Chains A and B, each alone.
Chain A
């Protein structure tokens, strides 16, 4: 193309949606029903390594064992990692901007060996430290999805930082 300035077009896809109906499966459905109906959190224990995973799933990855022993975990736990989101972005699940700032935490629920991620209450940011004790706050109206938990709140801020967990 020679030197003349050319108009470069952009094709907009528009407000398209690609709807999905994701199957939760047997294990996940148990977890969500227990959450909705009884405000309880369930994990699943591997018969081989005895690790407890939240949320429950059929296979322990490292052992490649089928799991079936459901156990109650939480609602308290330890904050193993977190961040506070401050940048504005659009949630691809809703198409709407996510309200920021919000806290995103990984909590090792009491009785579990992996971490469970959820919102953390960041109204007092000074309390949020790795190692803090957290507790789930459940919504009054629950529908059988993860948002039935409002967030996790700090119940006991950690006093020392820099200590290996």
Chain B
């Protein structure tokens, strides 16, 4: 019989532009120590470790082996999962399956990145096909800018509409002591920031960040003994649809549409806007905060600006999105998807301090990366049947 799985502890570093005081292994150790402290466990209590990052940001091969001193994986089953930007959410999904399978009772899941140690754009460019995609591609910014151009052309959405997403996330981040960028910005500041790749400007985009996140997944046999209010995993789904950039549908993010449709179907969500209390979404740039919530079924295609301008997705609104400040405020890439998971879990556990949304019963987190790929997870305060 598969086990039900819950998150019983989380830990993050204080994410910032550059951590010169720690090397990668020490950064990982920081997050792990905090997660163990949160769960009141010791590393000896952990049965196994899964870890992930994007290789070429730090230039280290076999990171699961290299990070052993920091991850606590010495003498334990240790493995690396990685799928680019979706790494963090891939890890969360991995944590679920590994524990649900009955093979582990308490699994430590770690995502980390030291983006400061290399050239982010260069490294992301090497994620794509060397013969067909790399000649013209200029890292994440270029691909996302193309998506934005199509979204604007299709629905008449404006750069100002997109800027409202940045304003929201950056405002929320001020309440999150772990977030990288904790200073509000205005619509005008976004609109007048440097044009990097039309139509994207500097403040439409996420920063590069050093940071790590650790989450402890536990089976139902032990979860409630460890944590009075764990965050139960209700379901997971993902779609990594494309191999080549040119095959992607640039509008409506089909991978997120399909992954969330599967997730909603198996968890009984029919009206996500009503039934979900908070979302932590991997929104790496402003326009995505519009088109991708349409893909999640919060509203019809082209109508997301209305939700943003009406404050529906602000803290205090009907469905707060990115109470943590999201990716636009903080992006240690290998950790980012896992931070979304941790933040969603914190909301369920009631541990989100100043950024806590009241009375969270159901939360959703997402991951994005690769060739317009998406991962989603649903969390609940109540143990699933």
Contacts of B130 in A (CB 8 A): 20, 22, 93
Question: Does B145 lie within 8 Å of A83, measured CB to CB?
Answer: yes
Contacts of A54 in B (CB 8 A): 246
Q: Interface stretch among B104-112, B191-199, B329-337?
A: B191-199
Taking CB atoms and an 8 Å cut-off, the chain A residues in 19-42 that contact chain B are 20, 22, 24, 28
Out of A10, A22, A86, A93, name the residue touching B198 (CB < 8 Å).
A86
Question: Does B122 lie within 8 Å of A92, measured CB to CB?
Answer: yes
* A140 and B227 alpha carbons, distance in the complex (Å): 69
B1, CB-defined interface residue at 8 Å:
no
Give the number of residue pairs across the A-B interface with Cβ within 8 Å: 128
Question: Does B147 lie within 8 Å of A81, measured CB to CB?
Answer: yes
B243, CB-defined interface residue at 8 Å:
yes
Closest to A147 in B: B135
Question: Does A83 lie within 8 Å of B153, measured CB to CB?
Answer: no
Contacts of B148 in A (CB 8 A): 83
Contacts of B194 in A (CB 8 A): 86-87
Question: Does B122 lie within 8 Å of A85, measured CB to CB?
Answer: no
Counting chain B CB atoms within 10 Å of each CB, the highest count among A20, A90, A117 belongs to A117
Contacts of A82 in B (CB 8 A): 146, 149
List 21 contacting pairs A-B, 8 Å CB cutoff, sorted by A: A10-B20, A28-B132, A53-B247, A57-B243, A61-B247, A80-B150, A83-B146, A83-B200, A92-B123, A93-B134, A106-B146, A115-B246, A115-B248, A115-B250, A117-B132, A117-B137, A118-B135, A129-B153, A131-B153, A146-B131, A165-B150
Question: Does A22 lie within 8 Å of B197, measured CB to CB?
Answer: no
Over the window 152-164 of chain A, the binary record of Cβ atoms lying under 8 Å from chain B Cβ atoms (1 yes, 0 no) is 0000000001111
Contacts of A118 in B (CB 8 A): 135-136
Contacts of B122 in A (CB 8 A): 89-92
Taking CB atoms and an 8 Å cut-off, the chain A residues in 109-131 that contact chain B are 114-119, 129-131
Q: Taking A80-B250, A104-B146, A164-B154 as given, write out 12 further A-B residue pairs in contact, using a Cβ cutoff of 8 Å, ordered by the A residue number.
A: A22-B131, A85-B138, A85-B142, A87-B194, A92-B123, A93-B134, A106-B246, A106-B250, A114-B246, A117-B133, A130-B150, A146-B132
Contacts of B134 in A (CB 8 A): 92-93
B242, CB-defined interface residue at 8 Å:
yes
Counting chain A CB atoms within 10 Å of each CB, the highest count among B122, B149, B199, B250 belongs to B149
Given A10-B20, A130-B153, A146-B131, A81 and B250 contact (CB-CB distance below 8 Å): yes
How far apart are A164's CB and chain B's nearest CB, in angstroms?
A: 5
Contacts of B131 in A (CB 8 A): 22, 24, 28, 145-146
How far apart are B239's CB and chain A's nearest CB, in angstroms?
A: 12
A70, CB-defined interface residue at 8 Å:
no
Given A80-B250, A85-B142, A8 and B126 contact (CB-CB distance below 8 Å): no
**B: number of interface residues (CB 8 Å):** 48
Question: Does B155 lie within 8 Å of A162, measured CB to CB?
Answer: yes
Contacts of A131 in B (CB 8 A): 153
A13, CB-defined interface residue at 8 Å:
yes
Contacts of A162 in B (CB 8 A): 153-156
Question: Does A81 lie within 8 Å of B146, measured CB to CB?
Answer: yes
How far apart are B313's CB and chain A's nearest CB, in angstroms?
A: 24
How far apart are A16's CB and chain B's nearest CB, in angstroms?
A: 9
* A83 and B137 alpha carbons, distance in the complex (Å): 10
How far apart are A5's CB and chain B's nearest CB, in angstroms?
A: 11
Taking CB atoms and an 8 Å cut-off, the chain B residues in 263-310 that contact chain A are none
Contacts of B40 in A (CB 8 A): none
Report A's interface with B, CB cutoff 8 A: 8, 10, 13, 20, 22, 24, 28, 53-55, 57, 61, 80-87, 89-93, 98, 104-106, 114-119, 129-131, 145-147, 161-165
Given A8-B20, A92-B126, A114-B247, A104 and B154 contact (CB-CB distance below 8 Å): no
Counting chain A CB atoms within 10 Å of each CB, the highest count among B121, B146, B200, B250 belongs to B146
Contacts of B141 in A (CB 8 A): 85, 87
Question: Does A61 lie within 8 Å of B243, measured CB to CB?
Answer: yes
How far apart are B207's CB and chain A's nearest CB, in angstroms?
A: 14
How far apart are B160's CB and chain A's nearest CB, in angstroms?
A: 15
List the 5 closest A-B pairs by CB distance, nearest first: A83-B145, A130-B153, A92-B122, A81-B146, A8-B20
* A84 and B246 alpha carbons, distance in the complex (Å): 17
Contacts of B198 in A (CB 8 A): 83-84, 86
How far apart are A25's CB and chain B's nearest CB, in angstroms?
A: 9
Contacts of B243 in A (CB 8 A): 57, 61
Contacts of A83 in B (CB 8 A): 142, 145-146, 148-149, 197-200
Contacts of B66 in A (CB 8 A): none
B188, CB-defined interface residue at 8 Å:
no
Question: Does B139 lie within 8 Å of A117, measured CB to CB?
Answer: no
* A53 and B40 alpha carbons, distance in the complex (Å): 54
Contacts of A130 in B (CB 8 A): 149-150, 152-153
Question: Does A117 lie within 8 Å of B147, measured CB to CB?
Answer: no
Contacts of B135 in A (CB 8 A): 93, 118-119, 145-147
B356, CB-defined interface residue at 8 Å:
no
B74, CB-defined interface residue at 8 Å:
no
